[in-house]
A and B are shown apart, each in its own frame.
Chain A
Amino acid sequence: MLAVNPDTAMHRIVIVPNRSLSVTGWWLFYASIVAATLTPGIWLTLNGFWPVLAYAILEMLLLGLCLYLCWRQGRYGEVITVSSSQVLVDKGNGHHMEHREFSRYWAQLVAHEPCARLHPRRLYIRSHGEECEVGRCLTGAERATLEQRLAQLIGPLGKTGFN
């Protein structure tokens, strides 16, 4: 999803993926399923059937890992800041952030065509031999909107907001 800062002095585009599961929802769901699985596991262990608890713990760890990976995917975000002289790209999932700086004048917006018909175009900001993908978590239509917006903002042909 795209959010554009209306402040005209500096353009900021915030890109985050759709997350249909909130953090509270995540905890509620995980806590309820852990309770539903471990309660019989503990009860059976108290009656001498400890292998059930071992499998239950293993399974909860796997479920937790899978849900965490999905949640971490959902924490991914990109912030593209276009000032009068620079294009700054910050992206990552909070722990591992990547920061790239490009000269606004020399920066180019490049769209790589997909290798297969069903796959999406990918957008890159490129300058002086370096390039950085943007809008990775967007859908085709959203990426097209981003492409249009960035084409207006960066490079020698960037024509919005600055003199």
Chain B
Amino acid sequence: MYNTADAHHPEHPSGIWRWITTTNHKDIGTLYLCFSLLMFFVGGAFAMLIRAELFKPGMQLMDPLFFNEMATLHGLVMIFGAIMPAFVGLANWMIPMMVGAPDMALPRMNNWSFWILPFAFILLLSTLFMPGGAPAGGWTMYAPLMLQTGTAFPFTIFAIHLMGISSVMGAINIIATILNLRAPGMTLMKMPLFVWCWLITAYLLIAVMPVLAGAVTMELMDKYFGTSFFNAAGGGDPLLFQHVFWFFGHPEVYIMVLPAFGIISEIIPTFSRKPLFGYTSMVYAVASIAFLSFIVWAHHMFTVGMPLSADLFFMFTTMLIAVPTGVKVFNWVATMWRGALSFETPMLFAIAFVFLFTIGGFSGVMLALVPADWQYHDTYFVVAHFHYVLVTGSAFAIMGAVYYWLPKWTGHMYNETLAKWHFWLSVISVNVLYFPMHFLGLAGMNRRLPDYPVQFTDLNQIVSVGGFVFGVSQLLFVACIILCVRGGKKAEAKVWEGALGLEWTLPSPPPYHSFTEPPAANLIWAHPYQND
């Protein structure tokens, strides 16, 4: 087997130089995860400012422009800085170990794809200090609103390009690793679900990133080079920006959710002490969701005045997504059914994911109905929906994954009591934060506004309190990680009794190069993913 460890890392530098020059998948995974945690707090701080402003009706702390800047940066930072890098970090750490490879297939490109990110975000966040302020057109950057941005505009576009380049390079690396470096005997249908979900996610990323790059480049050209792609006065159409953006934007939502499905499909069998129910159907469900994600984009635009036939097409395709998603949810529940369940923190996060993500899924089905969407559109109902999907979905899956694999990464067990405090505070506060938003939306409170009618005050105060508690409780997450890195009870190679997969055959912490010899074939063939 070709050994990437052989071709790289002639030395193993220490100190800061190690982290700058590293081509090791574990180091780069750690960098991604630390970066994403930092961005989670930066984006969270923006959210706290938003919730502080919305605590009372009227303007309290900031002017409306700054409120819009916070809303825009919160979205961009959380999506491109927190959720996506966290999944790439988990992929870096786990995929080579799961497929029996010594490292990623393209280690130097792996280093570049990470180190582009901090520069992209320095560039994006520096716009806060520029004349005219940071971008305030929302994370969707709709033309012509976005074109009103001041000096920050080209910097934002360049930052988006850098994030896109980083994502594409990460995706190419993941694809090359999964396709080329699987251990002998590990066929595609023997791969762990996390690897499958990431393979499909990487495919999606590669397919849609040029669309985002093209869309923002056209905005740049409209502003500085006299073109009229989205300028009605010059023969363009601003509405078409929304079509182009959401052709990227909706698969992007699945890019942030599919790896979470993979994580949950690893955690639930472990703590149910049963093989995953319906492995093959899970793979096909993920592939179906990925395919459908390309043909549903205009459900974000039901109110723009599309023809009825288009409305109906996008309504039906959107509702179709509920089928493969339902397959996944039922399979997770069936895996738990009659299993010998135990409720360690990763399992708690996984169960919370299944329950709360399903709430987000149901509100998604409601939003898919064209007549209902005319009422819900651009209200807090939508905000509640996508936060249930992205926070109690993606972010909870990431937290569960960190607790699940942290003992493997560090060689120490985390503090279970502290972790459970983190879980319960998070799960209670997140529902206090997002559930009342459904009612606010149904009652007609618009999103992206810094002020609101006085009758919405009570619910907004409850939401803000939930937000502050959720934000503060994440400090427990940081405490758990730091304490675990610094010490704790020694973790065994197979940290969890019911754990399946090659990564658990390596010692905890694993060696610098994961598999310098191919794992024994019988380990793969005995792998019980296909017991259904």
Contact = CB atoms under 8 A, between A and B. Distances in A.
Interface residues of B, number: 48
A55 B6 contact: no
A71 B2 CA distance: 11
Given A20-B186, A49-B244, A120 B516 contact: yes
A118 interface: yes
A55 B266 CA distance: 35
Contact of B240 (A47, A66, A71, A137): A47
Name A's interface SS. helix
Interface string B1-16: 1110110011110000
A151 to B, nearest CB: 20
A141 B517 contact: yes
Given A59-B206, A119-B5, A49 B214 contact: yes
Given A51-B218, A66-B172, A40 B179 contact: no
A150 to B, nearest CB: 18
A31 interface: no
Given A49-B229, A54-B214, A118 B5 contact: yes
B296 interface: no
A85 interface: no
A55 B1 contact: no
A116 B180 CA distance: 26
A70 B294 CA distance: 29
B292 to A, nearest CB: 13
Given A33-B203, A67-B176, A116-B12, A49 B3 contact: no
A52 B211 contact: yes
Interface in A107-163: 115-116, 118-120, 136-142
A20 B181 contact: yes
B462 interface: no
B184 A120 contact: no
Given A74-B2, A116-B11, A44 B211 contact: yes
Contacts of A71: 180
A90 B511 CA distance: 33
Contacts of B168: 59, 62
A37 B248 CA distance: 11
A70 B206 contact: no
B482 interface: no
Nearest to A57: B210
B515 to A, nearest CB: 8
A52 B229 CA distance: 12
A136 B517 CA distance: 13
Interface in B199-240: 203, 206-207, 209-211, 213-215, 217-218, 221, 229, 240
Give the interface centre of A1, A53, A119 by most chain B CB atoms within 10 Å. Answer: A119
Given A59-B206, A119-B5, A120-B6, A20 B214 contact: no
A37 B105 CA distance: 23
A18 interface: yes
Contacts of A76: 2
B180 A139 contact: no
B180 A74 contact: yes
B182 interface: yes
B210 A41 contact: yes
B396 to A, nearest CB: 30
Given A52-B211, A140-B516, A120 B180 contact: no
B106 interface: yes
A73 interface: yes
B15 to A, nearest CB: 16
A142 B396 CA distance: 42
Contacts of A47: 240
Interface string A60-82: 00110011011101101000000
Contacts of B175: 29, 63, 67
Nearest to B185: A20
A49 B217 CA distance: 10
Given A59-B168, A62-B168, A137-B6, 19 more contacts: A17-B1, A18-B2, A20-B179, A21-B180, A26-B179, A33-B206, A40-B294, A49-B215, A49-B244, A51-B214, A66-B109, A70-B106, A71-B180, A73-B2, A118-B9, A118-B516, A119-B10, A120-B3, A138-B3
Interface of A: 1, 17-21, 25-26, 29, 33, 36-37, 40-41, 44, 47-49, 51-56, 58-59, 62-63, 66-67, 69-71, 73-74, 76, 115-116, 118-120, 136-142
13 contacts: A18-B518, A20-B181, A21-B179, A33-B207, A44-B211, A52-B210, A52-B213, A53-B210, A55-B217, A56-B211, A69-B106, A118-B513, A138-B1
